[in-house]
Structure formats: C-alpha cells, structure tokens
Amino acid sequence: MSSYSQRAPAQSSAPVVDSGETSLGDSAETVESTERGESNKKGQKTPLDTVKELIKKADGPGLVSNFAALSRSQPGEVVKLVADRTTLVSALKVIGQDQATLALLHLQFGASATPGRTLNDGLKLLVASVGLSRAGWMQLVAGRDAAQQAAVVADSASLAALRGVEGDPMDLLPGLSMSPEALRAALTATPALTEWILDVGGEARETQIMEALAAAEDADLTRSRYIAAGLWTKHLSSIPKGPATDAETQRLLYNYVLASGESDVSEWNKLFEKRFGVSLTDGGAAWDKASVLRLWQICDLTPPSHIEATVKVIREGDQGDASGWAGGGEIGMSWGTDLLGATEIGAYSDDTDPMRGLNIFDACVRHEIGHNVGESNGWDQPGGFVYTQFGWDKHEDLRPLLDVFIKKYPLPLTTVSSRGKDALRTKILDALGGVSTTSRAGYRAAVEGVQRGLWTQIEGEPLINYLLKRSQGGAWDQMDNVDGRSYHVAYDWFGFCSAPVGLYAKKVSTYAMRSPMEWFAEVYATFYAEADQPGMPLGQLVAGRDPALYKTMMSTVHSGNSLGEVTGQGTVGMPAAQTPQGPIGDFPTPGPEIRNLA
C-alpha cells in the first residue's frame, strides 16, 4: 500500500535538502567574543551589521529573508537581534505591515518560551513598529496556546492595544476561547476582558460565553459523578459510534477530554473515536494531553468529509518539529510536544512561499490528511485535477522519456569506438528504459548488462549525468527545463514525474514539487492554514499564489462542506458571535490582483 512522506528523511528513501537560500549575514564568522573583536578590527561584518545595512537600504524583502536564514543557521545571532529592540523595531518598520508578522514568526516569536520572544512580546513589537492590524495579529496568534494568550490579556497595555483591533474578543483570542478553564481564570483576573466582551457584544454575548463555560463545568462534574459511581466506562460506551454529527455532542465530547487527567490515554482515544471516527495509536511514542487537544482542534476545523478519509493516527516518535507519512487511510507522525508551536523558517520553503512561517505540526497534520483526501477522491492521481488542470504527469515507462532527454542531454559515446555506435546507443537506452530502480545502482547494472565495463566509459556523458542528477534526493528543489517541463524521480517506487516549469513560480513550498501527491498535500495544508484565524477568509495564502488554484480548491475540494468560505472555531471554541455584519473586514475576490500574502 502506498505511503507518502511529509518532509521526513526517516520515511523517505531520499534525503531532503535545504531550499538553498543564504542570508546576507551567513558569511560572517560565529566565534567567541574575543575572536569576534579581532575580526571586527579587520572589518569583518557581523550579522547584526548586515541587518543594519539592510535597514539603511530599506530592503524589506532582504530583511525577511535574512531573519529566516539567521533562525536556521545562527540562532545565537537572533538572540542578539531580539535584545537590540531599537534595531528590530527599525527593521520591522522597513519591512512594513504586510510582512512584519511573518518576520516575527521567522524569529520564533510565540513559538517558544525563549525570553523576549513570547506572543506578548511579538504584539508589543508590532504596536511599536507598524501597528496592530487584524490580519497581522491573527497570523501571529494562530495556533498559540491558551497560556500565551492569557499572558497578553494580563498585560494592560497589550490588552488595550488588542481592544483597538476590530472583532469579537473570542475570535481574536482563539486559543483562550478553546480552553474554558484558562478563559475563566483570565476573566476572573482581568475584569477589563469582561468589559471588552460587553463593549463589543453586549450582555447577550457575555451570557453566551458564560453558558459555554458552565457547560464545560457541568461536563467535568458529570464525568466525576459517573467515575465515582463506577459507571463512566458504561456511559462512554452508550455514546453512539463516531463521527459525531450533532454539535451539542461534539462540544460535550471536547469538554470531557478537557476534564480528563494528564495520562488518560485510553479515555482520550475513546473520546476521539466518538468525535471523529478516528483512532489514536501508540506506535513507539505515547500520546500526551497537549497533543491530543491540538489534534482535536485541527480536526474540528477540517471538513467532516475529509476526516472520513483517515481512520487512524499513529504517534511514532516524540522528538523533532513534525514529520510523518500517510497512506491507506492511516497517518503516522513524530513530533516533540514542546515543539507544537514551532514554525517553518525555510527548511522546506523559499522566502516567498506561502508555507513559510506556518506552524509545522499543524501543517504536517493537514498535509497527511490531505494525502488521504487526495488519494480517496482521486484528485492527486492520474486523471485527477492535479494532472488534468495543473499539468503534473507520472511516467510509468522510462524508455520514451530517454528519447526526450537525449535531445538536450546527448549520449555521444565519445569513449567508444566508432563502429556500431548507433546500435550500441539504442541497446543502452533500451536497457536503461527497463530499470526497476531509478538510481545509480540500477543504471549501472543496466549498462553493464549491455557490455561489461561500459559504465565506467560513459558515466560522465550528459545523459547519464542528467539521469543521476534528476534521480537523487532533493532534485525536486531545482527546476530543470526540458521542452517546458521539469523531470525528476519522486520516490524509488514511483519513478519519474514531471510538471510544467511554470508551476515552480506558483509553488506553495519547495517540497510541494516532489510529486503530484506532495503538491496536493502541501496545497491542502496551505489552503486550510487560516482555519485557525476566526473571521478571516479561507485559503487566501493559496489565492495570493495562484488564483486559479484557489478557485479549484474552493469549488472542488472545499465544495459543499460546513466550514464555509470564512474561518471559524468549530465546536471547540466559544460559540460564534451573532453579528449581522458577517465577517470582519473587506476581503478581495481571488484574482490576478491578489498579492502573495506570505
């Protein structure tokens, strides 16, 4: 049964390579302070010097690229940059409001507990530099946990700034909205939060929120009473088999998992199956409550018909940002719980790719769901729109491809005697066309089968070099133009695939170009990334990259589901505010004029 890798060398036969960008500050040495002093005397620039030069040049894109590169290769320099608040604020002003939040995500604001890089610190930097816009804040707050959002509310200056942003407080604090316990504590500790709720939504909105908090408490009390009576297991079994379709039952199940202990793995699995019809399995690493809750929240914001394509989620490891595979309705993933908020800073994306700056865990989950959705609907298979509309192709037979390749990358057989060259060339092409494994070993065996010792004579020729280059891991990162198409081996079991060269300019990530399946899965993950941003338009990252792709995703993949075209919080957050105006803000109709938002 086929399985597809999500940026995971452990699951892939080919290693992933970096996207190849370099910071303008990458050439500066990272040395001890005494050595750095000597270097500076000789005129050696530090990364911070480079940032200041880019500020002088008013090079916003260069600054964003530089921040991402520093985070990847010189995290110590990021610490120095963050400590130099004046320089950082100046840099954000140059970058501008449209990209300032992305720059902060590159610097890991809100993604870790590193002093000076909390969500609250990020908010203050936006206020001090470019101002706090709804779009910028929603991008920064997406996926951040309740504790980080509670810290923003507890800071009077930050709360005052946030109150200046148009929108319902529960929309602007989605993580807090999803945690009744944390929300109640915040309301108790900060009366100004209640005042804000009343100012925006009136007493009706306050009552609605209080009723939701009471429902969570009732679920906790009900669970405790059933446990005390020894009837909890029986009660769970009485709940109909999932997926639950009734919103009240969906909320009840979420409140039950919130009320559970920190190690109730069996109970979490039962509740998850009741809610989504999907089981959680330990495949080498144990589940923890934080991971279950985040997975629950993501699935709650996924079209129900898409969840049906997945029957099992396996936690295979508890280290790293996030990596995984999918196939046959299953998902296998590894991640570190402490890195649930880690962001993509360029390991798998170029500077202008929409996936840059997204939460890695969230994107990985959606990517793997996308694999199962694409396969079950045939969208990423031959005959599906990935092939028919966007030009991907899978090449089952290598022999015809060699005739295409040889026009640009010839096989002159310069080291072979002139007699019978044409016949020998045909034999070599026929042998190469029949290889079962597109690799150096496979090619060599095929050539040696034609004539012993022939491989060493021809391995330096253009066609052989091309085959070796386009068969190695990471070849998809580098576009190659052969009659308007770029060819490479996706996986050993898949063989060669190709895409129109124009598709590279519209990619959502570098990894998307690995295969038709990865392209769909990365597009899927990017399209639903804004689901964590209540009240914002869905799929605008994709719309800004390729309006035609956005229209296809909306009309084909997203068509007919209950999430609509504007994001919400599903049933795990506070009930949506009942406002006649609809979503906040004016959102453009997808078209060529939409710029890349990431």
| Mean local confidence (pLDDT), 160-187 | 96
Q: What's the sign of the alpha-carbon dihedral 386, 387, 391, 393? A: positive
Distance from C-alpha of 318 to C-alpha of 341, rounded to nearest angstrom: 14
Question: Given this model, what pLDDT does residue 87 score?
Answer: 98
Question: Given this model, what pLDDT does residue 416 score?
Answer: 87
Question: Given this model, what pLDDT does residue 291 score?
Answer: 97
540 CB burial (10 A radius; 0-12, 13-18, 19+) = buried
Mean pLDDT of the chain: 88
Top pLDDT among 586 and 70 is at: 70
Top pLDDT among 390 and 576 is at: 390
The angle at the Cα of 332, spanning 326 to 333, to the nearest 5 degrees, equals 120
Tell me: pLDDT of 593 over 50: no
Q: Tell me the pLDDT tens digit for each residue of 46-96.
A: 999 999 999 999 999 999 999 989 998 999 999 999 999 999 999 999 999
Task: Write the DSSP string, 117-167.
Answer: -SHHHHHHHHHHHT---HHHHHHHHTT--HHHHHHHHHSHHHHHHHHTSSS
* Residues 344 and 357: beta-carbon distance below 8 Å: yes
Backbone angles phi, psi at 282, to 5 degrees: -80, 115
Question: Given this model, what pLDDT does residue 418 score?
Answer: 75
Question: Given this model, what pLDDT does residue 346 score?
Answer: 86
The angle at the Cα of 537, spanning 531 to 538, to the nearest 5 degrees, equals 45
Tell me: pLDDT of 517 over 90: yes
The conformational region for residue 497 under phi > 0 = left, psi -120 to 50 = alpha, else beta, is beta
| Mean local confidence (pLDDT), 300-326 | 94
User: Which pLDDT band holds residue 4 (cuts at 50, 70, 90)?
Assistant: low
Tell me: pLDDT of 282 over 80: yes
User: Which pLDDT band holds residue 5 (cuts at 50, 70, 90)?
Assistant: low
Global model pTM greater than 0.75: yes
Question: Given this model, what pLDDT does residue 111 score?
Answer: 82
Question: Given this model, what pLDDT does residue 319 score?
Answer: 94
Nearest to 183, CA basis, from 196, 173, 171: 173
| Mean local confidence (pLDDT), 244-265 | 96
| Mean local confidence (pLDDT), 545-568 | 85
Question: Given this model, what pLDDT does residue 304 score?
Answer: 92
| Mean local confidence (pLDDT), 526-546 | 92
Question: Given this model, what pLDDT does residue 568 score?
Answer: 79
Tell me: pLDDT of 7 over 70: no
Q: Where is average pLDDT lowest: 3-17, 209-223, 271-285?
A: 3-17
Question: Given this model, what pLDDT does residue 411 score?
Answer: 97
Backbone angles phi, psi at 502, to 5 degrees: -65, -20
* Residues pairing with 330 in the sheet: 312, 327
| Mean local confidence (pLDDT), 521-534 | 94
Nearest to 172, CA basis, from 573, 458, 587: 573
| Mean local confidence (pLDDT), 480-493 | 95
- Tokens matching residue 591: 């078209």
Question: Given this model, what pLDDT does residue 17 score?
Answer: 27
| Mean local confidence (pLDDT), 19-36 | 33
- Tokens matching residue 8: 């995971």
Task: Write the DSSP string, 367-402.
Answer: HHHHHHHHHHHTTTSTTSHHHHTT--EE-S-HHHHH
Question: Given this model, what pLDDT does residue 115 score?
Answer: 78
- Tokens matching residue 216: 């969570």
Is it true that the peptide bond before 243 is cis, omega within 30 degrees of 0? yes
Tell me: pLDDT of 281 over 80: yes
Question: Given this model, what pLDDT does residue 347 score?
Answer: 84
* Residues 349 and 33: beta-carbon distance below 8 Å: no
User: Which pLDDT band holds residue 186 (cuts at 50, 70, 90)?
Assistant: very high
Distance from C-alpha of 269 to C-alpha of 292, rounded to nearest angstrom: 9
| Mean local confidence (pLDDT), 523-537 | 93
Question: Given this model, what pLDDT does residue 444 score?
Answer: 97
Tell me the H-state helices in 164-246: 169-172, 174-177, 180-189, 191-228, 232-238
Tell me: pLDDT of 27 over 50: no
Pairing of strands 312-317, 330-334: parallel
Q: Where is average pLDDT lowest: 382-386, 436-440, 441-445, 504-508?
A: 436-440
Nearest to 70, CA basis, from 351, 319, 358: 351
User: Which pLDDT band holds residue 114 (cuts at 50, 70, 90)?
Assistant: confident
Tell me: pLDDT of 206 over 70: yes
Q: Tell me the pLDDT tens digit for each residue of 338-377.
A: 888 888 888 889 988 999 989 999 999 999 999 999 999 9
